[in-house]
Amino acid sequence: MNKKSVALLKTLDMETGLTEMISVIHAAFNEKPHVVAMITMDKALPVSKKLEKAFMLTNSVNDAWWNNKDVTPMFPERGCRSTSVGDMVLIGTEKFKCETSGWSEV
């Protein structure tokens, strides 16, 4: 399936209420907070699963994380570090901070 078809399917899912967009915000290491990714997420997942998936999708393992399906990179540089402790995820109007173990609501 080509990128145009994938984008169309994502749009249709969002319009039917099956998915939502969540933001990944890098703010660790004394950085000015900035959005680095928008992730298309299954709306029915519990918040804890959305947070786990956002963390997993924005960490490079076998390839650069911005090449992951469902991730739209939002940074101008050629690359971007992985999500770390101190970074945040915005789900709707709720913001969560990545902690050493788990997440806390901000």
Beta partners for residue 24, in sequence order? 37, 89
pLDDT digits (tens, 9 = 90+) for 11-39: 555 566 789 999 999 999 999 999 999 99
Q: Average of pLDDT values for 33-50?
A: 97
Q: Is the pLDDT of residue 9 over 60?
A: no
- For residue 57, the enclosing domain spans 3-105
Torsion sign (Cα): 83, 52, 96, 16: positive
Q: Give the number of domains in the chain.
A: 1
Residue 87 to residues 48, 51, 68, 84, 103, Cα–Cα distance (Å): 16, 11, 19, 6, 10
